[in-house]
Chain A
């Protein structure tokens, strides 16, 4: 059912009894052309673009829990494309362009809000890096500007821009087209749009083994039986190494806990997104009024979807350093996700040595912003059996050739 003002009125007049579920919950078929493992935003977007751009509609998305229950539903929703290197900039900018039309394309309001993202600089070296990155962004046609401490003071009144702050703020980069989106709506919107093109979304279905025949993928074993597949695309974020080992592969990825926090709702106090690498924290305010806060990963490996207390303490210190006014705000909830971190802070969207098996992982702390572009390039890679030029630099081979894309600086304090 198309979502429109007319349908809203029509359903209101009939007591809202005639809405249909946003997606079906079919029994798995015995065989699909493509099986996507992982019903996060990236997996659902991949299925959608497979159907929409490549006409491949015998597609299933297998999700062990509920869709969006992984990092997609646990992230702090920052969307931006101001990465340093050309390869990364172009990939994230492709996503940004898809975000800009996504609600219309999916007929689902993903509440994409281009409220700007500031990356603060606290030292001369920070400011040199910021100027370099802003210049690089502009050369790639991506909007970016350097702002001074005085401009920050007017734009974000409660930010502590005083020169005697513990880590004085000298300026920032600003991407005005950047912002936030509603994470759940992204999962649901892609699911609904993919479903309407014939994709089966199968929840409570964990993949437990990957079967191969003559060097090529042939089926997956799941908690709901064997499902044969022409091709298998794996997009399971923090569980990437677990799925890789099912196919006898090793990945340059490590899984870490990453936490997020929301406060009690406040009146509007912050209308943009502020991040600081040096103080190491970031904050925005949701439409409901909660402060949405995050910082860095826990150092050790962790699949537990929860992080450590010292990290919580550190995050709060960082936020209060930036915004002393928040010191008495109470936190309502906190949780953790499992992020898949790559040595060069860039993702892997790649074919593998097993024919018909594709991996999309390594997004670490910052893949939400890439959800549409990741799905779009991964769908291309699977459908054509070769990467799109946008994701060709992000193949597994780069760890052998040494052509790493070092985005540690612009990947910033997580996200």
Chain B
């Protein structure tokens, strides 16, 4: 069981959270300007690294706020969690 530190509520069990995928993917400002390949890259392609991963989590059964986390995808150790934009 992962113990995840919500930046607002502190450490809680994994079951209180839902996973939000890779962090830092921004919706293109002008989708019409993109080629199909660029749009596909935004929509479907993921970094999916073996090792350090910046990702989003939601404290779904708590304060319901989104936050960022840096987690190792092999050891599953969470190096840090942070308020988005901080």
One of B14, B15, B21, B75 near A304 (C-beta < 8 A) = B75
Q: Does A3 touch B at the CB level, under 8 Å?
A: no
CA distance A255 to B40 in the complex (A): 19
Structural contact, B15 and A253, CB atoms closer than 8 A: no
Given A252-B45, A254-B48, A308-B2, A301 contacting B40 (CB threshold 8 A) = no
Whole-angstrom distance from the CB of A372 to the nearest CB of chain B? 27
CA distance A401 to B15 in the complex (A): 37
Given A299-B19, A308-B1, A310-B14, A253 contacting B46 (CB threshold 8 A) = yes
One of A251, A302, A399 near B73 (C-beta < 8 A) = A302
List the A residue with the shortest CB-CB distance to B15: A310
User: Which residues of chain A from 247 to 265 have a CB within 8 Å of any chain B CB?
Assistant: 250-255
Q: Does B49 touch A at the CB level, under 8 Å?
A: yes
CA distance A283 to B74 in the complex (A): 28
Number of A-B contacts (CB under 8 A): 64
Q: Does A276 touch B at the CB level, under 8 Å?
A: no
Structural contact, B36 and A303, CB atoms closer than 8 A: no
CA distance A308 to B53 in the complex (A): 18
30 residue pairs of the A-B complex, CB under 8 angstroms, read A239-B50, A241-B47, A241-B49, A241-B50, A242-B49, A245-B49, A250-B41, A253-B48, A254-B46, A254-B48, A255-B48, A255-B73, A299-B19, A300-B55, A300-B71, A300-B76, A301-B55, A301-B73, A302-B76, A303-B50, A303-B74, A304-B76, A308-B1, A309-B1, A310-B1, A310-B15, A343-B44, A399-B43, A399-B44, A400-B37
Chain B residues within 8 Å of A, Cβ to Cβ: 1-2, 14-15, 18-19, 21, 36-37, 39-41, 43-50, 53, 55, 71, 73-76
Chain A residues within 8 Å of B, Cβ to Cβ: 239, 241-242, 245, 250-255, 299-304, 308-310, 343, 399-401
